[in-house]
Amino acid sequence: MKERILQTLRDLRAYALEKGYEISLFYHEEDSYLMRFANSAISLNTNEHLIRLDITAYSGRKRASFELITDLAKLDEMKRGIDTAAEMVEHAMPLTYQPTVAAYADSFADESGYDQALAQLSNAERLDYFNTVAGDLETDQLKLSGIFSSGTNVLAAITTRSEHTQYFKTSDAQVTAVLAHEAEKWEIIAEQSAYRKPDLEPAALNRELSFLLDRFQQDPRQQLPTGSYDIVFGPAAIADMVHFMNWIGFSGGSMKRGFSFVAEDKLGQKVFSDKVTLVDDPRLLDTYPFKRDFMGMERNPFAFFDQGVFKGFAWFQDDADEFGAQPSGHTVMHKSLHLHPGEVKAASLEELVRMPRQKDVLYIPFLHYMNIVNPSKGVITGSSRFGALLLKADGSVVVPFNVRLTQSLLDIFGDKVAWLSQDTVACNQSQSYGARNPVAYVVPRFMQVDGLEISHSNPSF
């Protein structure tokens, strides 16, 4: 199959050269499976096999693109697509800068993130997995929800600048299991991310849900007073905040356009707590990495923050072209972000709850519907969801109703960081809008930040 894809790209390149076009071709093939659960039933079981060809045509400083959903058998349709892009580019307006067309120096293929056993999971295996997660936790009132999303992604690229090709193949799985109390309207969650089949451990999800369920059923509930709290964030909340930082923290293009809370003069300066080291690390297979970017640049670990010191912006090729910067190997569909762990031993929620503490601590595993209130100040807002707990200094646990947090990422990752856990988790951040693009960040399981403000507190679940 790989050879057929690459040969098709070479044939299309030959066609473009014969016509005198300057183009780049980007092939994307997904085989996607999603089993969705709601109300303890399978509410949807779906699969899609889609092949997309994205054609970008260049003419001097002009650029235009045409994408089609197609099939390898439809070479003529793809050629017509190339003609369409070439025609469009003639009517485009020149950019004020010269866009760079990739010229691959050699052919490159990476299938290290592909596991056939994961890619070819059967319907029966997905259902078995969920049945194990559910165990005997479901009741008339407690209903299981979630997704088992898995699939294969193939990306390949060629341009008219060289005959060499780039090829990437990965397998991925994202599992979300939620137990929801129908009458009381609360939910608890356990999640897993996998790039190979042995990563799938349904029993671990069952244990996490069981532990949280005991807390929610046995411990008292409370509306928290608004005000200042020491907060321990769980992996999903941490990964989500890192995701927003990726957007408004260290993108060179965002910085130049005034949408970043890190200015150019912060290079080499301390921005965050010295406990914060954030690296784009394509060696981590858990993150579905790109070891080269789509311009053909080799990708090596790239620190954005090293012990709190800002080390550099990520420059996407087009932004680098526009602002005269050096591209940094970040012309990829996603980065492989790794927030380095800390010193504290806490490998599970049970261990976190058992840790001795001087003060009450609010545990927030998940921030729902996060958004940017003020990009220049790094202010984000979101609400707790899926199993927040107030861990009291006396060792008891209270289940709080959901709260809202509106804070700057500069504060959250700044000097208020008390500790990070030794243990890390691959937290799946994939969305399924448009083309499949599996993405996960590796983050500490827990991060405690002292003195953060809760601005809104729900009176009930």
Partner 1 sequence: MLDQIRQQIDRVKGMGATYVDCRWYPFEEQNYLLMWNGNLKVTAASRESGMGIRVLYKGAWGFSASSDMGDIAAVFDKALDNARTAAERVTFPVRLAEKDILQASFTSPSRVNPFEVPLNEKVAFLKAMDDKLNQKGVFQRSADLSFMRKQIVFVDSEGSEIEKNITEVFSSLEVNGLDAQGMSHERKYKLNRQGDTRGWESINPALFGENAERIVRELNEMLAAEDCPKEDRSVILLPGIMYLQTHETIGHALELDRILGYELAYAGGSFVTLDDFGRLRYGSGKLTARADATLPNSPGSFGYDDDGVPAQDNVLIDKGILVGAITGRQMVEEANVKAKRQIFDGSGGANRATSFYRVPIERMTNINIDPGSDGSLDDIIANTERGIVMDGDRSWSIGSNREQFHFGTEIGWLVDDGKITKVVKNATYKGDTVKFWNSLSAVGDESTWQVQLVNNCGKGQPNQVMQLGHGIPVCRFDNTRIGE
Binders of partner 1 among 340-379, rule CB under 8 A?
Answer: 368-377
Q: How far apart are CA 43 and CA 271, in angstroms?
A: 46
Q: Does 132 bind partner 1 (CB under 8 A)?
A: no
Half-sphere exposure of 304 (CA within 13 A, CB side): 26
Tell me how long the chain is: 461
Cβ within 8 Å of residue 85, ≥6 positions away: 21, 23, 55, 56, 57, 64, 65, 66
In the bound state with partner 1, the residue whose beta carbon lies nearer, of 82 and 284, is 82
Q: Does 35 bind partner 1 (CB under 8 A)?
A: yes
Which tokens hold the place of 375? 């990009």
Least CB distance to partner 1 at residue 302 (A): 25
In the bound state with partner 1, the residue whose beta carbon lies nearer, of 49 and 283, is 49
Q: Does 297 bind partner 1 (CB under 8 A)?
A: no
Query: What's the distance, Cα to Cα, between the start and end of the chain in Å?
Result: 51
Q: How far apart are CA 67 and CA 24, in angstroms?
A: 12
| Contacts (CB under 8 A) with partner 1, residues 412-431 | 431
Q: How far does Cα 444 stand from its chain's mean position?
A: 15
Q: Which of 15, 108, 259, 419 is close enough to bind partner 1 by CB under 8 A?
A: 259
- Relative to beta strand 424-428, strand 41-59 is unpaired
In the bound state with partner 1, the residue whose beta carbon lies nearer, of 74 and 392, is 74
- Three-state SS at 227: strand
In the bound state with partner 1, the residue whose beta carbon lies nearer, of 198 and 258, is 258
Q: Does 103 bind partner 1 (CB under 8 A)?
A: no
Q: Are 370 and 429 in contact (CB under 8 A)?
A: no
Q: What is the DSSP letter of 5?
A: H
Q: How far apart are CA 20 and CA 16, in angstroms?
A: 6
| Contacts (CB under 8 A) with partner 1, residues 386-405 | 402, 404
Q: Does 454 bind partner 1 (CB under 8 A)?
A: no
In the bound state with partner 1, the residue whose beta carbon lies nearer, of 149 and 273, is 149
Q: Which of 348, 406, 408, 422 is close enough to bind partner 1 by CB under 8 A?
A: 406
Q: Which of 5, 16, 23, 64 is close enough to bind partner 1 by CB under 8 A?
A: 64
In the bound state with partner 1, the residue whose beta carbon lies nearer, of 353 and 399, is 399
Q: Does 75 bind partner 1 (CB under 8 A)?
A: no
Largest CA distance in the chain: 77
Q: How far does Cα 385 stand from its chain's mean position?
A: 19
Q: Does 93 bind partner 1 (CB under 8 A)?
A: yes
Q: What is the DSSP letter of 422?
A: S
Helix H or strand E encompassing 455: strand 447-457
Closest CA to 409 of 250, 236, 235: 250
In the bound state with partner 1, the residue whose beta carbon lies nearer, of 14 and 69, is 69
Q: Which of 38, 137, 297, 398 is close enough to bind partner 1 by CB under 8 A?
A: 38
Number of H helices, E strands in the chain: 10, 23
Q: Does 73 bind partner 1 (CB under 8 A)?
A: yes
In the bound state with partner 1, the residue whose beta carbon lies nearer, of 65 and 348, is 65
Q: Does 4 bind partner 1 (CB under 8 A)?
A: no
Least CB distance to partner 1 at residue 17 (A): 22
In the bound state with partner 1, the residue whose beta carbon lies nearer, of 211 and 259, is 259
Q: Are 380 and 372 in contact (CB under 8 A)?
A: yes
Q: Which of 225, 227, 258, 356 is close enough to bind partner 1 by CB under 8 A?
A: 258
Q: How far does Cα 399 stand from its chain's mean position?
A: 29
Q: Which of 102, 157, 173, 180 is close enough to bind partner 1 by CB under 8 A?
A: 180
Q: Which residues pair with 134 in a beta bridge?
A: none
Which tokens hold the place of 115? 């596991």
| Contacts (CB under 8 A) with partner 1, residues 196-255 | none
In the bound state with partner 1, the residue whose beta carbon lies nearer, of 43 and 222, is 43
Q: Which of 221, 257, 345, 359 is close enough to bind partner 1 by CB under 8 A?
A: 257
Q: Computed over its alpha carbons, how large is the radius of gyration of the chain?
A: 24
| Contacts (CB under 8 A) with partner 1, residues 299-338 | 318, 322
Which residue type does 189 have? I
Q: Which of 153, 176, 251, 331 is close enough to bind partner 1 by CB under 8 A?
A: 176
Half-sphere exposure of 68 (CA within 13 A, CB side): 17
Q: Does 456 bind partner 1 (CB under 8 A)?
A: yes
| Binding-residue total with partner 1 (CB under 8 A) | 90
CB atoms within 10 A of CB 253: 18
Q: Does 1 bind partner 1 (CB under 8 A)?
A: no
| Contacts (CB under 8 A) with partner 1, residues 134-173 | 143, 145-147, 149
For partner 1, which stretch binds (CB under 8 A), given 17-25, 185-193, 211-219, 343-351?
185-193
Half-sphere exposure of 89 (CA within 13 A, CB side): 24
Least CB distance to partner 1 at residue 351 (A): 26
Q: Which of 7, 123, 300, 396 is close enough to bind partner 1 by CB under 8 A?
A: 123
* DSSP output for 337-366: EEE---SB---SHHHHHHS--SS-EEEE--
For partner 1, which stretch binds (CB under 8 A), given 119-127, 154-162, 309-317, 389-397?
119-127
